[in-house]
Structure 1
Amino acid sequence: MFTGIVTELGTVESLERSADAARLTVRSPRALDRVRTGDSVAVNGCCLTVADHDAETWTADLMAETLDRTTLGALRPGDAVDVEPALALGDRLGGHLVQGHVDGVGTVLARTPGERWDVVEISLPAALARYVVAKGSIAVDGVSLTVVHAGESAFTVSLIPETLARTTLGARAVGDRVNLETDVLARHVERLLAAGVRTADLAPTTEVGP
């Protein structure tokens, strides 16, 4: 589990492709202060498992599903990536609950600079539109953001100076593709409603003695 608060801007060292997989190596020495082999780390919002590491770099294996459903397969050496190690029990939850399971890929449609922030419009796959609401949360390339406007095919977010300076979103241009993860709570509520769960079934019960 992650929080959508990027720990470090890492750098892609290499992406070695095979027929249906890839091996990604990232340089992110700050994140490695709390990462060991077998731990989970989010790269641009996608949860990966550390297969090997040294003092400054770590490596993860990308399966076909990851390459098909995220932007990671298009990474090149030298690219900056958003890096966040998984939460430890008791860590502060600064953003929102993020699983690192990418729901879909969007494209930056427009970028409007403000006095101290940028407003960015991103396309939204039709299947995800029902999970995105104004003032709700969404993870874009692993960054926890608040939705400003939500439409059927796009949404907008405002990027504050801290986000512009410390994440890859500061450099994303029109036409760039980004990983999207919608609010997991919205997906669970939808599943419960689809199953016909009544409100009364979810309410706690209090036993009263004779």
Structure 2
Amino acid sequence: MFTGLIEGQGVVREIRQEDVGVRLEIQVPPEFAGEGKLGDSIAINGCCLTVIELHDGLWSFQAGPETLAKTTLGQLTVGSHVNLERSLPADGRLGGHFVQGHVDGVGQVAKIESDGEWITIWFSAPPALTHQMVAKGSITVEGVSLTLVEVETDRFSVALIPHTLEVTTLGEKQVGDGVNLETDIIGKYMDKMLGATR
């Protein structure tokens, strides 16, 4: 379980083909280096992966064909920056919202509107996902917990403050870029329950 509050950015140092999947080697921020251990769950751009090796600030992960096909991780290249979050300890503070690290689908940056240092980004998304969203509710984009501003049939918007733009990869996004999306788990359950009565 995660919160969607990004703890730092990593840099992809190596992508190695392994049978049908890939091995990702990521340079983690200095504050991560002394705390990780084998088997830890880490959200990489919102996708939960397991640490399989670590040394000298380089952590390795494996991603299978399903993960590569259903998330933006398959689009990473050497040098790509990624959002990182360690799993939430049982006694930790929940500053964002409950994030599982299970990506529901991939959206795209549709429009970027600037207002001084702030920006509003519109993302296109499958209607099946926007159906689980509500204005002022929560959405996870590339692992970042955000508040929904407007929700339409096939797109939604979020407003980003300068801090979020600086400490996450969202400040680098351009129109057309793909993003990992995870809807709020409460919305998923509500959608399922209401669907059973329709």
TM-score, with normalisation over the residues of structure 1? 0.90
Aligned pair 1:150/2:151, yes or no?
yes
Cα displacement string for residues 101-144 of structure 1 (whole angstroms, at most 9, x for unaligned residues): 00000010111111231000100112112111110100000000
How many residue pairs match? The answer is: 196
Distance of 1:56 and 1:36 partners within structure 2: 11
Distance of 1:191 and 1:34 partners within structure 2: 39
Q: Displacement, 1:18?
A: 3.8
* Secondary structure of the structure 2 residue equivalent to 1:131: coil
Superposed, which structure 2 residues align to 1:1-210 within 5 Å? Answer: 1-28=1-28, 29-195=30-196
Unaligned 5+ segments in structure 1 are 197-210
Q: Displacement, 1:20?
A: 1.8
Q: Displacement, 1:66?
A: 0.3
User: Which letter does structure 1 place at the counterpart of 2:90?
Assistant: L
- Structure 1 segments of 4 or more deviating over 6 A? none
Matched residues, percent identical? 45
Distance of 2:3 and 2:56 partners within structure 1: 24
* Secondary structure of the structure 1 residue equivalent to 2:153: coil
Q: Displacement, 1:194?
A: 4.1
Distance of 1:30 and 1:76 partners within structure 2: 24
Larger CA Rg, structure 1 vs 2: 1
Distance of 1:190 and 1:41 partners within structure 2: 28
CA RMSD of aligned residues (A): 1.2
Distance of 1:32 and 1:191 partners within structure 2: 41
Unaligned 5+ segments in structure 2 are none
Decide whether the 8 Å contact of 1:125 with 1:153 is kept in 2.
yes
User: Which letter does structure 2 place at the counterpart of 1:6?
Assistant: I
Decide whether the 8 Å contact of 1:108 with 1:120 is kept in 2.
yes
